Amino acid sequence: MKLHKKDNFSRRNFLKTSVLASGGMLIGFNFLTACKPEAKMPVTIDNLNFNDFNAYIKISEEGYVTIFSPNPEIGQGVKTAMPMIIAEELDVAWKNVTVAQADLDTKNFKRQVAGGSQSIRSSWSVLRETGATAKQMLMQAAANKWQVDKSTLKVANGIITNNNGETLGYGDVVKEAALLEVPEKVTLKALKDFTIIGKDALNVDLHKIITGQSLYGLDYKAEGMVYATVLRPPAFGQELVSFDATEAKKINGVLEVVTIGKKVRKFKNSGEKNWSFSLSSSDKVVVVAKNTWAAIKGKKAIKAKWKTITALESTEQHNIVLNAILNDKKGKVRREDGNVKKAFANADKVIEKTYSAPFLPHNCMEPMNFYANITKEKVHLVGPIQTPEAAANIVGKMFGFTQDKIHLEMTRMGGGFGRRLYGDFVFEVAEIANKIQKPVKLIATREDDMTTGIYRPSTKYKITAALKDGEISGYQLKEAAINGNMYGSIAHFFPAGCIPNYKVESGNYKSNITTGAWRAPYTNFLAFAEQTFFDELATELKIDPIQLRLDLLENLDPKKDKRIQYSGKRTKDVIELVREKGNWGNVPVGVYQGFATYYSHNTHVAEIADIEIKNGLPVIKKITVAVDCGIVVNPTGAKNQIEGGVLDGIGHAMYANFSLKDGKPEYKNFDTYRLIRMNETPIVEVHFVENNLKPTGLGEPGLPPAGGAVANAINAALGKRLYNQPFIKDLQKQTILG
């Protein structure tokens, strides 16, 4: 995804100011695109126009600052961290800053997406420059008032002081400041002068969350709103034939039963490409009711007939086809260095291992839901979505509305993990609203989410290494995934550039099971396979596993190869830091350690797992984590992300099983689908590498190495290598067999 056209662009273009009718100053700015020169700034807050500016800062005459933060919040903390960056350069007290979630701009909003851990990374410079520009204009206004030179003034916490000790608050000069020219040059603060960035700031929605206020899509209500549940085909590969709604209609509160599907199909067939359209094009039965309970009961009471139109696939069969890809088929070569064939022919020893992982549903704690109201004149959409722009765009096309007639409000999201990148439920609710001509909220049950979801593809890896004279002379990795997983740049991650003869290839099996991005897509399982493989190679080569990584990194020369994605130095930094903080090799008797390191989403991470064994099963006690994500904007938020990512990684690697039989998912709810719970969690201790580099992602990078670190510790304790996720299946087999 290309985020920046260029890094520096004219401030005059991306930032404009105006005086508000209600008093105060409004600063509009744009993260990634220079806006049109004729772009107008509104004079009232109600008229914020996100077509030209995708974010606004309001400074009131009382000196309070409101930041209209545009990025969707899925729990990754950007709603706190992004305004912190503005406040830092603006030099206001953090306690005088409030943050409001901005609605969607339907025209020019280029990066209103929460995904890929990129929010902070892609907006760091613009946020800083915006804050600094506003500060400079406020100072200039004060200088004009006092008739002194701006350079003689000092600012702290929103108060400007002159040489005579006189003060003016920002609020006192906002009106004048708003009328000044936007300066072309501003000076950014020296990093050492930061007072907000690098200090803990509490989650801005904290109070609302802990007092149970309406925040999430599921909480949203509108006048006259009805509730809808959707009955979708029970198996992948099936379509609706007919249904009987007699019983459903008898239920108190059920208003009507309708079908949808036509609009999506028509749109799909028109050749529009959108990643949500891998979803079923079957007709679906919708139960519309006065309340959620009636809608849920009504759906259960529908008697539907389904027909099979494409093969009903099963996990057993997937295992066979994926193994066949690994063993018998040529893959698509993603990268090839040196002469792999020769390296293997001349090897002293060849090690080959196969790794396997199931599909994974996202299981956001807040089930999928969305509100829509479609009238002749306009469309109103409200809810949790990671890709609001695409969703609004498609709804417009589907129902013949131009984008200025669509208003999309984003709510806080009860988790995303990739699932809310896909707007299928937005299109469904839009079709329902259009059909029944009422404001309506679609609500999915947990069973709907788990059985008609979009899954992390079931994936297998075969990794092979050639060993020669105590060195790794050749390395081959092959991926086989349902519908594909890997993409181009992954092949240029570690150990690319460290091993002379190297090859990565991938193959896939086209399936009718819907698959897609899942937290740390592409690498959430790859990291496990690779990092346990290197652990095994270290054992084979009789070398400390950390030392093996460090030795390999010595071979890397990124100057020679521009495709290399990771930094050797930053990888070494996190390895060294975790080795020290995690007391590698220096733990009490009965504690076993495992190590893994991984680079993803521009962030380098290394982890050490400490485990003990009780009743033949591992108890994970502690994970020490070292992270290089550049400058840490909000340490408490950053740690929270890493803690969560690590535990999420461990939980899914240990417990999460998912399978299909005859096209039907065999896991439907949390009674059988196992998520990690508090009594199974280790302490996660997070350390950051200190440097002055641009901040990078945090939502995802903690996850990939976690499973590998734990598996390697389990091997250290039990002498048992784990090749399949979830680990618990193989571990239980082992304990039962003694």
Residues interacting with ligand FES, by CB under 6 A?
75, 365, 415
648 interacts with, out of ligand FES, other proteins, none, CB within 5 to 8 A per kind: other proteins
Which C-beta is closer to other proteins: that of 205 or that of 544?
Answer: 205
Residue selected from 171, 644, 697, 708 as contacting other proteins according to rule CB under 8 A:
644
Residue 3 CB neighbours (<10 A): 14
681 interacts with, out of other proteins, ligand FES, none, CB within 5 to 8 A per kind: other proteins
Q: Residue 727 is encoded by which pair of tokens? A: 């680990």
> Least distance from C-beta 670 to ligand FES, angstroms?
7
> Least distance from C-beta 524 to ligand FES, angstroms?
18
In whole angstroms, how far apart are CA 461 and each of 97, 352, 455, 482?
Answer: 49, 10, 18, 12
675 interacts with, out of other proteins, ligand FES, none, CB within 5 to 8 A per kind: other proteins
78 interacts with, out of ligand FES, other proteins, none, CB within 5 to 8 A per kind: none
Provide CB contacts within 8 A for 271, sequence distance 6+. none
364 binds other proteins (CB under 8 A): yes
**Residue whose beta carbon is closest to ligand FES:** 365
**Spatial contact of 226 and 288, defined as CB atoms under 8 Å apart:** yes
In whole angstroms, how far apart are CA 50 and each of 42, 127, 214, 399, 410?
Answer: 10, 16, 24, 22, 14
188 interacts with, out of other proteins, ligand FES, none, CB within 5 to 8 A per kind: none
Q: Residue 225 is encoded by which pair of tokens? A: 């709103």
Binding part of the chain for other proteins, among 180-188, 237-245, 427-435, 668-676 by CB under 8 A, reads 668-676
277 interacts with, out of other proteins, ligand FES, none, CB within 5 to 8 A per kind: none
Residue selected from 166, 293, 378, 437 as contacting other proteins according to rule CB under 8 A:
293
- What's the CA gap between 304 and 285, in Å, rounded? 9
Show the site string, 51-90: x = touches other proteins by CB under 8 A, - = not: -----------------------xxxx-------------
Which C-beta is closer to other proteins: that of 368 or that of 553?
Answer: 368
252 interacts with, out of ligand FES, other proteins, none, CB within 5 to 8 A per kind: other proteins
> Least distance from C-beta 637 to ligand FES, angstroms?
13
Which C-beta is closer to ligand FES: that of 22 or that of 672?
Answer: 672
**Spatial contact of 87 and 97, defined as CB atoms under 8 Å apart:** yes
CA angle 703–704–707, rounded 5-degree value: 90
* List of E strands, 629-701: 660-661, 664-665, 683-688
Residue type, 471: E
Rule CB under 8 A: which of 673-692 touch other proteins?
A: 675-681, 683-684
> Least distance from C-beta 358 to other proteins, angstroms?
18
- Nearest CA to 556 among 471, 499, 598? 499
Which C-beta is closer to ligand FES: that of 198 or that of 415?
Answer: 415
Name residue, tokens 């009422």.
438
Residue selected from 638, 647, 660, 718 as contacting other proteins according to rule CB under 8 A:
647
Which C-beta is closer to ligand FES: that of 279 or that of 385?
Answer: 385
Which C-beta is closer to ligand FES: that of 661 or that of 668?
Answer: 668
> Least distance from C-beta 545 to other proteins, angstroms?
26
- Region of 384 (left: φ > 0; alpha: ψ -120 to 50; beta: rest) is beta
φ/ψ (deg, to 5) at 304: -115, 150
- What's the CA gap between 323 and 311, in Å, rounded? 19
Provide CB contacts within 8 A for 121, sequence distance 6+. 602, 694, 695, 696, 697
φ/ψ (deg, to 5) at 119: -55, -50
> Least distance from C-beta 199 to ligand FES, angstroms?
23
252 binds other proteins (CB under 8 A): yes
> Least distance from C-beta 363 to other proteins, angstroms?
6
In whole angstroms, how far apart are CA 401 and each of 371, 396, 566?
Answer: 17, 5, 44
Helix (H), strand (E) counts: the chain: 19, 28
- What's the CA gap between 78 and 89, in Å, rounded? 17
Rule CB under 8 A: which of 579-638 touch other proteins?
A: 636-637
> Least distance from C-beta 491 to other proteins, angstroms?
30
Q: Can you list the alpha helix ranges (DSSP code H) found in 147-215?
A: 170-179, 206-211
Residue selected from 671, 719, 733, 737 as contacting other proteins according to rule CB under 8 A:
671
φ/ψ (deg, to 5) at 701: -60, -20
Binding part of the chain for other proteins, among 187-195, 330-338, 409-417, 602-610 by CB under 8 A, reads 409-417
> Least distance from C-beta 353 to other proteins, angstroms?
29
Provide CB contacts within 8 A for 185, sequence distance 6+. none
# binding residues, other proteins (CB under 8 A): 65
DSSP classification of residue 177 = H
Which C-beta is closer to ligand FES: that of 75 or that of 298?
Answer: 75
- HEC-encoded secondary structure of 315-377: HHHHHHHHHHHHHHCCCEEEEEECCHHHHHHCCCEEEEEEEEECCECCCCCCCCEEEEEECCC
61 interacts with, out of ligand FES, other proteins, none, CB within 5 to 8 A per kind: none
Give bridge partners of residue 254 from the DSSP assignment: 289
467 interacts with, out of ligand FES, other proteins, none, CB within 5 to 8 A per kind: none
Residue 458, CB-side half-sphere exposure with 13 Å CA sphere: 28
500 interacts with, out of other proteins, ligand FES, none, CB within 5 to 8 A per kind: none
576 interacts with, out of ligand FES, other proteins, none, CB within 5 to 8 A per kind: none
Binding part of the chain for other proteins, among 3-11, 115-123, 357-365, 492-500 by CB under 8 A, reads 357-365
- Nearest CA to 599 among 635, 628, 640, 559? 628
> Least distance from C-beta 286 to ligand FES, angstroms?
23
Residue selected from 280, 445, 532, 657 as contacting other proteins according to rule CB under 8 A:
445
Q: Which 3 state secondary structure label does DSSP give 37? A: coil
> Least distance from C-beta 80 to other proteins, angstroms?
9
DSSP classification of residue 403 = G
Residue selected from 42, 169, 183, 415 as contacting other proteins according to rule CB under 8 A:
415
> Least distance from C-beta 387 to ligand FES, angstroms?
20
> Least distance from C-beta 220 to other proteins, angstroms?
9
651 binds other proteins (CB under 8 A): yes
Q: Can you list the alpha helix ranges (DSSP code H) found in 602-674?
A: 635-655
- What's the CA gap between 653 and 676, in Å, rounded? 10
Rule CB under 8 A: which of 168-227 touch other proteins?
A: 200, 202-203, 205-207, 209-216, 218-219, 221, 227
Residue selected from 593, 641, 696, 712 as contacting other proteins according to rule CB under 8 A:
641
190 interacts with, out of other proteins, ligand FES, none, CB within 5 to 8 A per kind: none
> Least distance from C-beta 449 to other proteins, angstroms?
10
Q: Residue 365 is encoded by which pair of tokens? A: 């704690």
Which C-beta is closer to ligand FES: that of 524 or that of 641?
Answer: 641
Total residues belonging to the chain: 738
Strand 592-600, strand 501-509: pairing: unpaired
Which C-beta is closer to other proteins: that of 207 or that of 342?
Answer: 207
List interacting residues with other proteins (CB under 8 A). 74-77, 200, 202-203, 205-207, 209-216, 218-219, 221, 227, 252-253, 291-294, 296, 363-367, 412-417, 445-446, 636-637, 640-641, 643-648, 651, 669-671, 675-681, 683-684
